[in-house]
Chains A and B, each alone.
Chain A
Amino acid sequence: MIPAAFEYYRPSDLAGVIELLEEHGDDARVMAGGHSLIPMMKLRMADVPHLIDLQGISGLSDITIDTESIRIGALVTQTNIICHEDLAAAAPILRETALQIADPQVRNMGTVGGNVANGDPGNDMPGLMQCLNASFTLIGPDGERNVAARDFYEAAYMTAREDDEVLTAVTIPLPEGGYAYEKQKRKIGDYATAAAAVQITKIGETCASASIAMTNLSDIPVFSEAASTALVGTSVDDAALKAAVGAMLGDIDPTEDNRGPVAFKKHVAGVILRRAILRAWSRA
């Protein structure tokens, strides 16, 4: 559990970061909280000759809420999310999710930016951001661009971010209606056996819109448009729930690991989604 030697940088502005990234290409990695990257380096599973610490950069730790959207800087920690009252009022699903990530010590260090940028299918924020239709701001040598969370993930640890880009912020359209983040895990600190993020609105007793994403059930987070669509226009009755679960199962692709075999994971994914929908619906 001792990493190979590496150069450590702590630039004071983004330009300095980009410069280092351009110079070292994929030999360089940026680090926010470090709670995914450092263990990988200690296990010598990640070879990072040049480590760029973002903690010296100001302006990446803000949470701003306006009438249409929420902007969360990449260095905002899970604990910041949990403790921010206005944020909890504007998008309560963020607090509900963050409280289910790891443990308090990790949440004090782990950041939103790191969680979404790392591309680990076990992370909870990517699925949540897909559910919320967030977009990620990337800054590189050619300036700034935004990529939708739903388009960002390509494979495990592979994302739309170029090697010389830094993810600086997450922008979330103000969510409406009921919400739920439901997660089954073996113990504190574990990744999900299955987790579901649901955001749902209703008009009268009819579902007006729904958004569903699943965590750790494929090599990337899974936004299930089909499952979302299955609920719209229904009264979220048993038939609609069955349809949504069925649609979701068509979109996920879990693999066997120590949490259990595929059949178990699929079954639990269905149960968890059903519960998430019902909780979100009850809050809509």
Chain B
Amino acid sequence: MKDEVESRDDRVANLKGMGCSRKRVEDARFTQGKGNYVDDIKLDGMLFGDFVRSPYAHARVVSINTEEALKVPGVLAVLTAADLEPLGLHWMPTLAGDKQMVLADGKVLFQGQEVAFVVAEDRYAAADGIELVEVEYDELPVIVDPFESLKSDVVLREDLDPKADGAHGPRKHHNHIFTWDAGDKEPTEQVLAEADVVATESMYYHRTHPCPLETCGCVASMDKVNGKLTLWGTFQAPHAIRTVVSLISGIEEHNIRVISPDIGGGFGNKVGAYPGYVCSVVASIVTGKPVKWIEDRMDNLMTTAFARDYHMTGKIAATKDGKITGLHCHVTADHGGFDACADPTKFPAGFMNICTGSYDIPTAYLEVDGVYTNKAPGGVSYRCSFRVTEAVYFIERMIEVLAIELNMDATELRRINFIKKEQFPYKAALGWEYDSGDYHTAWDKALKTVDYEGLRAEQAQRVEDFKAGKTRTLMGIGLSFFTEIVGAGPVKNCDILGLGMFDSCEIRIHPTGSAIARLGTISQGQGHATTFAQILASEIGLPADSITIEEGDTDTAPYGLGTYGSRSTPVAGAATAMAGRKIRAKAQMIAAYLLEVHDNDVEFDVDRFVVKGAPERFKTMKEIAFAAYNQAIPGIEPGLEAVSYYDPPNMTYPFGAYVCVMDIDVDTGVPEIRRFYALDDCGTRINPMIIEGQVHGGLTEALAVALGQEIAYDDMGNVKTGTLMDFFLPTAWEVPNYETDFTVTPSPHHPIGAKGVGESPHVGGVPCFSNAVQDAFRPFGNRHTNMPHDHWRIWQTANKLGLHG
């Protein structure tokens, strides 16, 4: 028989299990234009909805006249807040415990805010209808600066009682949302007061946007005969959306089916609930027909969830020889007109309290003030776990500033302060328990690979040449070492709207030895159909090619909290492994029965159970699967299925060491990335090719954010970067070649030791690119300049340092 001649290595290879660079099964359809995205869904009689949006950032809505719009052929209805109010749907709850207008209720708070929803037979009629809705506005003073907002007499949120607590405790001012803190305030202040050296720096992490290639959208279809609502949408968390829709609409949850089909990138932008979803559902209920709503690019950039917008001030204390003794961080967080941040309920600033980074900092304190302004709501984690990009940028800049203060090399400063391998699990001053790490090994490997000493020598020569007038190009060496905190998370402290952040997997093995597994997550390009099948292949001994992975349909998939914050592998990946192990446990009993031995006398070997000590006696998993359906086995139910709901005991803590070498044209401000080296440690590696792809993507988005991507407003609250002409989305032309590398430090508490990787390169990449720019100017007195480092801002840095003669 073939099985008998097949070597064990061959049998392992046939599974295409963990550790193999299996080609992505999704790509066959994506590369042939055969994906099925929300906008591909076409239903009989489907209508289209689109928004009349506010041109003003702050104004009273005096009146809305829909008469002319309703005369446009094909326009069927125009919904306003007045129409939604009787249903109680003119406002909706946000993920952050605030509420948000679905349609303008008396006033608008940001440019592009939804004012009316035009429903028409086609998109063209809807667009024509929008032009003819007459809205009379009375302009109000606009506040785009959070510091000014906290001083202003202008009340942005008139719907809130200024004296009442918000969702996260007392509010200090009518435009203040919350204060959230972590760590020990007085001890930190004492350490700062007594330290040898204290470096202080203020930095602004500018507002930007995840900008997925596919914008947000949905199709709502209310079947009035059976009372069932089906909602297709670009949802990163379909089950949570189902629960939210049920809670706010009153439709029982079993009558709601939410489907996330193929999703063209999310990066956090598609976590929250948007007015378009609510309006589409209402319009479908009102008209009895399916209603589609799809954002255009400008809608997406201007109104759906932004990222960052953190004003951070840090104080870092150290001894003369560079041992860090304390860290203080204050953040003024600009949340826009409504607090619609997507964070676990108890963490209104996300996991910003990971801001002690990869360092053993004994004493620390973090305080975050959330503030309303006349900007779009949101505050999502753009390709990072909750606010981790901000935290890592903050600490990696503070380290560089401290190195300047101490006149020390920044690599050595990091080395002195890294948490040591033997300190894990490490309890950090701001509360988290880091599960594992080996920072020194990763750092040394990175610096050796790039020949760090050689780079510094070259840079010193370049500075000399520059001063001698031989060159007009400076060289920057960007360093970053990051620790991510992903896999939210343990139900004891992580929930969204009261829903614990576990995740799930349900497996059915078919009689002929193939399988389907369904998960509570949803891929947006991560390749779940490929990698989760690999986990299962290794766990249950059936080939990955024989395992279908299905996600995104709430009628079939088990409940889960979705995909964001690099949580799919840490949480749903763990559920997959655990469900696989349940399958294997039952398979072991079946095998023992078939082999007529005791359960304990068989052991699992790649794709089969063998009798211990008699390897020629075995049953393959394929044989066992068939037996599960055709044999009456005493004491064992027929079938071979399992489900696991996994509540992770802790987060996982991927880390990495990045180095960027950049040449900067001092006269034009144009940076050229000569080299980028990225070492990632994401624990057990499921598919190295997918990891590499994730790293390339995350680094490219990091490059974008660091070097130019922003959502900028003028003083009137007008969005200045609402199209891809001005919003920087890098192409193959702008990105360098990336060198990827790795170490492997498995997570001790994860069933397969995996940690998650999709967001690491973004988290580590942004400070690395930024540090490269800053480092180039360090020899001339630069200490800190804010991102984005686009041409003119780099030029401005050079100019202020007197480098233009």
Question: Are A187 and B791 touching (Cβ within 8 A)?
Answer: no
| Residues of chain B from 96 to 144 with CB closer than 8 A to chain A in the complex | 123-124, 126-128, 131
B773-796 vs A, Cβ < 8 Å mask (1 yes, 0 no):
000000000000000001110011
Chain B 708-751 interface mask (CB, 8 Å, partner A; 1/0):
10001000000011001110101101100000000000000000
- For B733, what are the chain A residues with a Cβ–Cβ distance below 8 Å? 103, 187-188
Known: A1-B296, A187-B728. A268 touches B127 (CB 8 A): no
Interface 1/0 per residue, B668-696 and A, CB below 8 Å: 11100000000000000000000000000
Residue from A2, A4, A189, A260 having most chain B Cβ neighbours under 10 A: A2
Q: Does A279 contact B (CB under 8 A)?
A: no
Q: Is the CB of A186 within 8 A of B124?
A: no
Shortest beta-carbon distance from A28 to chain B in Å: 21
Are A4 and B296 in contact (CB-based, < 8 A)? no
With contacts A186-B790, A187-B728 known, is A258 near B720, CB below 8 A?
A: yes
- Give the nearest-CB partner of A272 in chain B: B668
> What residue in chain A is nearest B472 (Cβ atoms)?
A271
Other-chain residue from B668, B731, B796, B804 in contact with A184 (beta carbon distance below 8 A) = B668
State in angstroms the CA–CA spacing of A103 and B732 once bound together: 11
Q: Is A10 an interface residue (CB 8 A)?
A: no
Contacts of B712 in A (CB 8 A): 258
Quick check: B795 and A260 within 8 Å, CB to CB? yes
A242 interface hit (Cβ, 8 Å)? no
Chain B CB within 8 A of A193 CB: yes
Residue contact A271 to B667, C-beta cutoff 8 Å: yes
Q: How far is the CB of A279 from chain B (nearest CB, A)?
A: 15
Please report the C-alpha to C-alpha distance between residue A175 and residue B666 in the assembled complex, in whole angstroms: 33
Interface size on A, residues (CB 8 A): 23
Q: In this assembly, does A264 line the interface, its C-beta being within 8 Å of a C-beta of chain B?
A: yes
A271 lies within 8 A of B668 (CB):
yes
Any B CB within 8 A of the CB of A24: no
Q: Report A182-218 CB contacts with B as 1/0, cut-off 8 Å.
A: 0010111111010000000000000000000000000
Q: Is the CB of A261 within 8 A of B792?
A: yes
Q: Which residues of B contact A258 (CB under 8 A)?
A: 712, 720-721, 726
Assess whether A259 is interfacial by the CB under 8 Å rule: yes
A267 within 8 A of partner (CB): yes
Give the distance in Å from the alpha carbon of A234 to the alpha carbon of B288 in the complex: 79
- Binary per-residue interface labels of chain B (66-110) against chain A in the complex, 1 for a CB within 8 Å, 0 otherwise: 000000000000000000000000000000000000000000000
A190→B796 CA distance, assembly (Å): 21
A5 touching B124 in the complex, CB below 8 Å, given contacts A186-B728, A187-B728: yes
CA distance A44 to B131 in the complex (A): 10
Inter-chain contact A186/B123, CB cutoff 8 Å:
no
**Mask for A253-267, Cβ within 8 A of B = 1, else 0?**
000001111001001
Given contacts A4-B131, A186-B728, A264-B796, contact A259 B123 (CB under 8 A): no
Q: How far is the CA of A213 from the CA of B195 in the complex (A)?
A: 60
* A193, A258, A267, A268 interface centre (most CB from chain B within 10 Å): A258
From A44, A186, A189, B791 is in contact (CB under 8 Å) with: A186
* The residue from A5, A184, A186, A261 contacting B708, defined by CB atoms under 8 A apart: A186
- Assess the B795–A264 pair: CB atoms within 8 A: yes
Interface size on B, residues (CB 8 A): 32
Determine if A2 and B123 form an interchain contact, defined as CB atoms under 8 angstroms apart.
yes
Q: Is B60 among interface residues, defined by CB-CB distance under 8 A? A: no
Contact of A264 among B126, B298, B728, B792 (CB under 8 A): B792
Please classify the interface of chain B as helix (H, G, I), strand (E, B), loop, or mixed, using the class held by over half of its residues: loop
Say yes or no: is B228 at the interface (Cβ < 8 Å to chain A): no
Asked, given contacts A184-B668, A184-B670, whether A267 binds B795 with beta carbons under 8 Å apart, the answer is yes
Which residues from A are CB-within-8-Å of B297?
A: 1
In this complex, the member of A184, A190, A264 whose beta carbon has the largest number of chain B beta carbons within 10 angstroms is A264
Closest to B123 in A: A2
Q: Which residue of A lies closest to B732 (CB)?
A: A188
Contact B124 A267 (CB under 8 A): no
CB distance from A46 to the nearest CB of B (A): 14
Closest CB of chain B to A45's CB: distance in Å?
Answer: 12
Residues of chain B within 8 A (CB-CB) of A187 are 708, 728, 730-731, 733-734
Q: Which residue of B lies closest to A270 (CB)?
A: B667
Q: How far is the CA of A186 from the CA of B670 in the complex (A)?
A: 8
CA gap between A259 and B792 in the complex, in Å: 7
> Nearest A residue to B296 by beta-carbon distance?
A1
Q: Hey, which chain A residues are within 8 Å of B127, CB to CB?
A: 2, 4
Do A268 and B668 touch across chains, with their CB atoms under 8 A apart?
yes
The closest CB in chain A to the CB of B720 belongs to A258
Partner of B795 from the list A5, A103, A268 (CB cut-off 8 Å) is A268
Nearest CB of B to A42, in Å: 9
Question: Quick check: B791 and A267 within 8 Å, CB to CB?
Answer: no
Query: B117-176: which residues lie under 8 A (CB-CB) from chain A?
Result: 123-124, 126-128, 131
> Which residue from chain B places its CB closest to the CB of A2 in the assembled complex?
B127
Residues of B within 8 A of A1 (CB): 296-298
Per-residue CB proximity of A210-249 to B under 8 Å, as 1/0? 0000000000000000000000000000000000000000
Minimum Cβ distance to chain B for residue A63 (Å): 27
Q: Which residues of A contact B734 (CB under 8 A)?
A: 187-188
* A14-B297 Cα distance, complex, nearest whole Å: 37
Whole-angstrom distance between the alpha carbons of A196 and B708 in the complex? 24
CB distance from A132 to the nearest CB of B (A): 25
**Which residues from chain A contact B792 at a C-beta distance below 8 Å?**
193, 259-261, 264
Q: Chain A residue with minimal CB distance to B128?
A: A4
Give the Cβ gap from A49 to chain B, nearest Cβ, in Å.
Answer: 13
A112 to B75 Cα, complex, angstroms: 40
Complex Cα–Cα for A260 and B791 (A): 8
The smallest beta-carbon distance between B382 and chain A, in angstroms, is 19
Instruction: Name the residue of chain B whose CB is nearest to the CB of A185.
Output: B791
Distance to closest chain B CB from A246 (angstroms): 15
Within the complex, what minimum Cβ distance (angstroms) separates A131 from chain B? 21
Q: How far is the CA of A2 from the CA of B790 in the complex (A)?
A: 32
CA distance A264 to B667 in the complex (A): 10
Q: How far is the CA of A103 from the CA of B123 in the complex (A)?
A: 29
Task: Return the CB mask of A164-183 against B: 1 if under 8 Å, else 0.
Answer: 00000000000000000000
B379 to A: closest C-beta gap in Å: 23
Chain A residue at smallest Cβ distance from B729? A187
Using Cβ atoms and an 8 Å threshold, which residues of chain B touch A259?
A: 791-792
CB neighbours of A261 from chain B (8 A): 792
Partner of A5, one of B126, B128, B731: B128
CA distance A272 to B795 in the complex (A): 14
Q: Which of A186, A188, A189, A267 contacts B804 (CB 8 A)?
A: A267
Say which residue of B667, B725, B728 sits within 8 Å of A267 (CB atoms): B667
A268 to B666, CA, bound (A): 10
Q: Please measure, in the bound complex, the distance between the C-alpha atom of A267 and the C-alpha atom of B666, giving whole angstroms.
A: 11
The residues of A that contact B298 with a CB separation of less than 8 Å are: 1
Query: Contacts of A4 on B, CB cut-off 8 Å?
Result: 127-128, 131
Q: Which of A1-26 contact B (CB under 8 A)?
A: 1-2, 4-5
**CA A264 – CA B793 in complex, angstroms?**
9
Return chain B residues, CB-CB under 8 Å to A272.
668
Q: Which residue of B lies closest to A1 (CB)?
A: B296
Q: How far is the CA of A2 from the CA of B72 in the complex (A)?
A: 15
Give chain B residues whose Cβ lies under 8 Å from the Cβ of A188: 731, 733-734
Q: State the CA gap A62–B728 with chains docked (Å).
A: 36
Q: How far is the CB of B37 from chain A (nearest CB, A)?
A: 17
In the bound complex, what is the Cα–Cα distance between A76 and B795 (angstroms)? 38
- Contact of B124 with A2 in the complex, beta carbons under 8 Å: yes
The 4 closest A-B pairs by CB, nearest first: A260-B792, A2-B127, A188-B733, A1-B296
Q: Provide a sorted-by-A list of 25 A–B residue pairs whose CB atoms are within 8 angstroms.
A: A1-B297, A1-B298, A2-B127, A4-B128, A103-B733, A184-B668, A184-B670, A186-B708, A186-B728, A187-B708, A187-B731, A187-B734, A188-B731, A188-B733, A190-B725, A191-B725, A258-B726, A259-B791, A261-B792, A264-B791, A267-B795, A267-B799, A267-B804, A271-B667, A272-B668
Known: A2-B123, A260-B790, A267-B804. 20 other contacts (CB 8 A): A1-B296, A4-B131, A5-B124, A5-B128, A103-B733, A184-B791, A186-B708, A186-B791, A187-B708, A187-B728, A187-B734, A188-B734, A189-B724, A193-B791, A259-B791, A259-B792, A260-B791, A264-B791, A264-B792, A271-B667
